[in-house]
Chains A and B, each alone.
Chain A
Amino acid sequence: MIPQSQPDLSPRTRCPTPAAVGGRHSVLVRLAALTGVALLVLASGGSANAADDAFTAPAPEASGPIRSIRKYAVPAVSLVRDDGKVVSLPDEMSDGRPIVLNFIFTTCGSTCPLMSSVFAQFEHRLGAEADKVHLMSISIDPEQDTPARLHEYAQKFHSGLEWQHYTGTLAASITAQRAFDVYRGGKMSHAAVTLMRAAPGKPWLRIEGFVTADDLVRDYRELLAAR
């Protein structure tokens, strides 16, 4: 059975503000946050269309990203950057810059290209501010995604200097995925998760589901303002 992502029902779950969520989802997400049942449906779906039972599927528009604040211990693993250099994950995350992180694989046809497009747009929208942030994309199919393939993938999205892609051993990738609670047993069952941290030592903002670049910019600015 493919594991489903578990909804986060802990008290840490932040009630999303309309500003943070925005768009047509805001009302629904607020509603969802108020009712545990609705939240369960949303979070276990990720997409409202996910439910394959004709009779319990919520209306298709009822999906939206779910935000929460989490603490993660960055694991001491070595990864290989898309320039071929072997690096330590904690080192890559501790140069003081805010981090925006996701997990992708290059032969993914649907979710990953969209997430990467959003990163590209995010970079673009930040403009000159972009060189203050560090975007990181870690491969969840590391044996296929050699540094050369990751580099080629990055080029497709015109990634700037502040956006790096990482691969490594399968074990290292899984350790990183587990540390950020995105490991779902295999690349085919991955979840669309974006993580963001203002500075080393600070907690992470976890965004589950598809997020637009505008929302991501808003989240980023909010997070930095609260630093």
Chain B
Amino acid sequence: MSAWRLASAGACLLAGLALPGPAPAAPADNVGRSIYLRGVLGSGAPLEGTREAGVVTTAADAACVNCHQRSGLGSVEGSLSIPPVTGEYLFHSRAHDASEPVLPYVESLHGNRDPYTDATLARAIREGLDSQGRPLNYLMPRFALGDEDMAALVEYLKTLSVRQVPGVTDTVLHFATISTPDADPLKRRGMLDVLEQFFVQKNLFPLKPSPRMLTSGKTQYSKSMYMANRHWQLHVWELTGPAASWRAQLDKHLAAEPVYAVLSGLAGSNWAPVHEFCEQNAIPCLFPNVEVPVIAERDFYSLYFSKGVLLEAQLIARTILGPDNHPTAGAVEQVYRAGDSGEPAAKALAAQLKGHGVTVHSTVLTAGAQGHGVTAVLRAAALRKDARGQALVLWLRPGDIAALSDVPAGAATVYLSGRMGGLEKSPLPAGWREHTLMTYPFDLPGRRGVRLDYPLGWFSFRHIPVVAEQVQTDTYLACSLLADVLNRMADNFARPYLIEQLQALLEHRIITGYYPHLTLASNQRFASKGGYVVHFRDPGGTALVAEADWIVP
């Protein structure tokens, strides 16, 4: 087998690219970036691409990123593979020269061509001919770029060649996990137990640095399984104080301990400062345990298992409004504690019910309202009942739920956030159970058994106490996905590539813990998209009955 090594000619071109350093002149770089990512030319006009037989694609739809991905490393879609277009791959040579550096393996690599030059690359983009004059795949449009736009785009492709990634050394991969000060301390301990044990397990076989993975195909790739050559190091970043100060703390942590990615993590009701930190620093932020994620589908570096309580708000809205948007309740009374995750959830539900003729009130519990105080508040709320029936929505924790006494009169249906309220273990008093529907944004207990056997067995074998099963199995899942994706990436650590590869592999994952299935793709940030609405079968116990099939709101 031949490794694709750089011939001297290619190496001359590459010499300037391979090293980390300042980006090229800003204006050209911005134009290239804007063509690549957004399909906007230097003049501000939309990029236009034409395929054979006159299929025209324009603007964002024509942007290179759609196929070649943000990393520039391409993708594999079924039998179709879209090649890498970062400078180092475009300008590499097939020639053998042991003294030259080699390129990391990527799955989508096409090898059968000479290295491009700036001129042949421009021809490829304008006329659809490869470096040897052969037509490119039908999928690749032709772009009538002017010289300045072309130069800017080619320069941008060269900047995509990243060989030095922060947090990655020849022997160590650095990861951070982040917890916010309002995170539940019990869940936090449970999460850290899993993370620490996973890292211990991962580092059981510390090997000396292995040879760099070559671009010579799958034989070499298979030897790279488990990436055993790099030690995984976990940095625990504990945020303290008010949310306004978290960003400065994060910046300080990052400066002291550059990390490749943020893995798992735990928040109370606010994760937004961490999300923004990751997006702005281009750090992958993988599957944190958060009830209130940031919903910004066009962001890139943050991936979540689900929309958390915001998904539950969607499930409740869907249930109240029905498939035809005919509300089953005229008024909705929401109850939450100030500052808890129920607050944004209640806001989200109110927004979804707006415009459908449903009156929405909120009752905010403050620190003083404990025990019977909760019921008193609920009773007061029930007085605002509506002739068309009232729904009561409880965004409460088990402590408040256990303290509920008599069911308030006039509440036709009670909705309870399963995620906040403790799922099937929620201490909902017997009298409430027949009136209550609980959102259950996971697979049902009886159905996820097999998918949990593996992580739970793993915890037991390592003497990890199960204190918060869902958080701990989600954490385990996040770690396993990271291990899987790093295997798949071989020696290519470009951060966008990590996200792209996770998006591609996720749907093939079989051990998905609490979730019936997970799937992502470009511009998808939330892997599990639905949930159940259930009720308790009995006045006591944990048996649930689903009201309907899995609902994707």
Complex contact B111–A54 (CB within 8 A):
yes
Chain A minimum-CB-distance residue to B111: A54
Q: Can you name 11 extra interface pairs (CB under 8 A) apart from A111-B78, A144-B521, A212-B53? A: A5-B78, A52-B81, A54-B112, A60-B130, A60-B134, A109-B75, A111-B139, A143-B530, A188-B78, A191-B78, A213-B53
A-contact bits for B59-91, CB 8 A (1 contact / 0 none): 001000111000000011111111100000000
Residue A117 is within 8 A (CB to CB) of chain B in the complex: yes
Residue A114 is within 8 A (CB to CB) of chain B in the complex: yes
Complex contact B111–A188 (CB within 8 A):
no
A-contact bits for B103-114, CB 8 A (1 contact / 0 none): 000011111100
> Secondary structure at chain B's binding surface: helix, strand, loop or mixed?
loop
Residue A129 is within 8 A (CB to CB) of chain B in the complex: no
Query: A13: which B residues are within 8 A, CB to CB?
Result: none
B-contact bits for A100-143, CB 8 A (1 contact / 0 none): 00000101111101100110010000000000000000000111
Chain B minimum-CB-distance residue to A54: B111
Complex contact B138–A210 (CB within 8 A):
yes
A4 to B80, CA, bound (A): 10
Please give the number of chain A residues whose Cβ is less than 8 angstroms from any Cβ of chain B in the complex.
53
Residue A50 is within 8 A (CB to CB) of chain B in the complex: yes
Smallest CB–CB gap between B216 and chain A, Å?
9
Q: Which of B56, B79, B134 contacts A59 (CB 8 A)?
A: B134
Given contacts A117-B55, A143-B552, A210-B139, A46 and B78 within 8 Å (CB-CB): yes
Q: Which of B53, B111, B507, B519 contacts A214 (CB 8 A)?
A: B53
Binding site for B on A (CB under 8 A): 2, 4-5, 23, 44-50, 52-55, 57, 59-61, 63, 84, 105, 107-111, 113-114, 117-118, 121, 141-144, 146, 156, 169-170, 184-192, 210, 212-214
Complex contact A170–B521 (CB within 8 A):
no
A118 to B53, CA, bound (A): 10
Complex contact A107–B523 (CB within 8 A):
yes
Chain A minimum-CB-distance residue to B65: A109
A44 to B79, CA, bound (A): 7
Complex contact B519–A53 (CB within 8 A):
no
Complex contact B80–A111 (CB within 8 A):
yes
**Complex interface residues of chain B between 9 and 64 (CB less than 8 A to chain A):** 51-57, 61
Smallest CB–CB gap between B239 and chain A, Å?
32
Smallest CB–CB gap between B324 and chain A, Å?
8
A113 to B130, CA, bound (A): 23
A84 to B321, CA, bound (A): 14
Query: B56: which A residues are within 8 A, CB to CB?
Result: 117
Which has the most chain A C-beta neighbours within 10 Å: B51, B76, B110? Answer: B110
Binding site for A on B (CB under 8 A): 2, 4, 51-57, 61, 65-67, 75-83, 94, 107-112, 130, 134-139, 217-218, 323, 504, 507-508, 517, 519, 521-524, 529-530, 549-550, 552
Query: A110: which B residues are within 8 A, CB to CB?
Result: 66-67, 75, 77, 80, 82, 139
Q: Which of A46, A55, A121 contacts B80 (CB 8 A)?
A: A46
Complex contact B55–A50 (CB within 8 A):
no
Complex contact B323–A84 (CB within 8 A):
yes
Given contacts A110-B67, A188-B77, A54 and B53 within 8 Å (CB-CB): no
Chain A minimum-CB-distance residue to B504: A188
Smallest CB–CB gap between B108 and chain A, Å?
7
A52 to B137, CA, bound (A): 14
Complex contact A49–B529 (CB within 8 A):
no
Complex contact B549–A190 (CB within 8 A):
no
Complex contact B137–A49 (CB within 8 A):
yes
**17 pairs across A/B with beta carbons < 8 Å?**
A47-B138, A50-B79, A54-B111, A54-B217, A60-B130, A63-B138, A121-B53, A121-B55, A141-B521, A143-B529, A144-B519, A184-B78, A188-B78, A188-B521, A192-B78, A210-B139, A213-B53
Query: B522: which A residues are within 8 A, CB to CB?
Result: 107-109
Smallest CB–CB gap between A143 and chain B, Å?
4
Query: B66: which A residues are within 8 A, CB to CB?
Result: 109-110, 113
A76 to B457, CA, bound (A): 40
Smallest CB–CB gap between A173 and chain B, Å?
12
Q: Which of A46, A52, A142, A189 contacts B108 (CB 8 A)?
A: A52
A79 to B527, CA, bound (A): 22
Q: Which of A44, A50, A60, A109 contacts B81 (CB 8 A)?
A: A50
A156 to B522, CA, bound (A): 18
Query: B67: which A residues are within 8 A, CB to CB?
Result: 109-110
Which has the most chain B C-beta neighbours within 10 Å: A4, A23, A114? Answer: A114
Given contacts A121-B55, A143-B529, A60 and B79 within 8 Å (CB-CB): no
Complex contact B55–A47 (CB within 8 A):
no
A48 to B130, CA, bound (A): 13
Which has the most chain A C-beta neighbours within 10 Å: B55, B80, B504? Answer: B80
A118 to B55, CA, bound (A): 7
Complex contact A146–B134 (CB within 8 A):
no
Query: A46: which B residues are within 8 A, CB to CB?
Result: 78-80
Query: A2: which B residues are within 8 A, CB to CB?
Result: 76, 78, 508
Complex contact A105–B136 (CB within 8 A):
no
A155 to B309, CA, bound (A): 31
Which has the most chain B C-beta neighbours within 10 Å: A109, A187, A189? Answer: A109
Query: B82: which A residues are within 8 A, CB to CB?
Result: 110
Complex contact B135–A111 (CB within 8 A):
no
A18 to B94, CA, bound (A): 37
Chain B minimum-CB-distance residue to A121: B55
A144 to B77, CA, bound (A): 18
Query: A111: which B residues are within 8 A, CB to CB?
Result: 77-78, 80, 139
Query: B508: which A residues are within 8 A, CB to CB?
Result: 2, 185-186, 188
Complex contact B107–A52 (CB within 8 A):
yes
Smallest CB–CB gap between A35 and chain B, Å?
19
Query: A50: which B residues are within 8 A, CB to CB?
Result: 79-81
A141 to B529, CA, bound (A): 11
Q: Which of B94, B107, B108, B507 contacts A186 (CB 8 A)?
A: B507
Query: B137: which A residues are within 8 A, CB to CB?
Result: 47-49, 60, 63
Given contacts A50-B81, A60-B134, A187-B521, A144 and B112 within 8 Å (CB-CB): no
Smallest CB–CB gap between B352 and chain A, Å?
13
Smallest CB–CB gap between A81 and chain B, Å?
13
Complex contact B519–A114 (CB within 8 A):
no
Chain B minimum-CB-distance residue to A145: B552
Query: B83: which A residues are within 8 A, CB to CB?
Result: 49
Complex contact A54–B80 (CB within 8 A):
no
Q: Which of A63, A156, A187 contacts B519 (CB 8 A)?
A: A187
Question: Nearest 9 A-B pairs (CB), nearest first?
Answer: A54-B111, A46-B79, A109-B66, A212-B53, A110-B67, A143-B529, A186-B507, A107-B521, A189-B78
Query: A118: which B residues are within 8 A, CB to CB?
Result: 55
Query: A107: which B residues are within 8 A, CB to CB?
Result: 521-524
Query: B517: which A residues are within 8 A, CB to CB?
Result: 170
Query: B138: which A residues are within 8 A, CB to CB?
Result: 47, 63, 210
Smallest CB–CB gap between B89 and chain A, Å?
13
Chain B minimum-CB-distance residue to A53: B217
Complex contact A47–B134 (CB within 8 A):
no
Smallest CB–CB gap between B326 and chain A, Å?
13
Smallest CB–CB gap between A165 and chain B, Å?
16
